[in-house]
């Protein structure tokens, strides 16, 4: 997740980064977010009712979903990707979102 935080700081003026958590307490989620999202550019929260996870068909973590400004899913994958792969996907999202 530190890579996500770095990219969130880099793309803060063009892309919103949201990191929902589930199956944890609010306190544990808050503490982890404070440790890994130091830039202050990643919005985080606890999806207690699993609404977000259900809407995007996410059965487990980590999963990354890139959503365009018109709310269409541009790309979705499970697992970890390198910073370079994430940067390329974000640049593609920006191009598609115009």
The burial class, CB within 10 Å (0-12 / 13-18 / 19+), for 19 is: buried
Which residue segments constitute the domains of the chain, with CATH numbers given? 2-97 (3.40.30.10)
- pLDDT tens digit string along 26-64? 999 999 999 999 999 999 999 999 999 999 888 888 899
Tell me how many helices (H) and strands (E) the chain has.
Answer: 4, 4
pTM: 0.85
Question: How do residues 59-97 score in pLDDT, each as one tens digit?
Answer: 888 899 999 988 899 999 999 999 999 999 999 999 998
């Amino acid at each position: 997740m530190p890579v996500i935080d770095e990219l969130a700081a880099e793309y803060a003026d063009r892309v919103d980064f949201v990191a929902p958590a589930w199956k944890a307490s609010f306190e544990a989620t808050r503490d982890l977010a404070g440790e890994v999202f130091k830039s202050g550019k990643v919005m985080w929260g606890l999806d207690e009712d699993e609404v977000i996870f259900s809407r995007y068909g996410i059965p487990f973590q980590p999963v990354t979903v890139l959503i365009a400004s018109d709310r269409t899913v541009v790309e979705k994958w499970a697992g970890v990707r390198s910073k370079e792969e994430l940067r390329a996907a974000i640049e593609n999202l920006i191009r598609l979102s115009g």
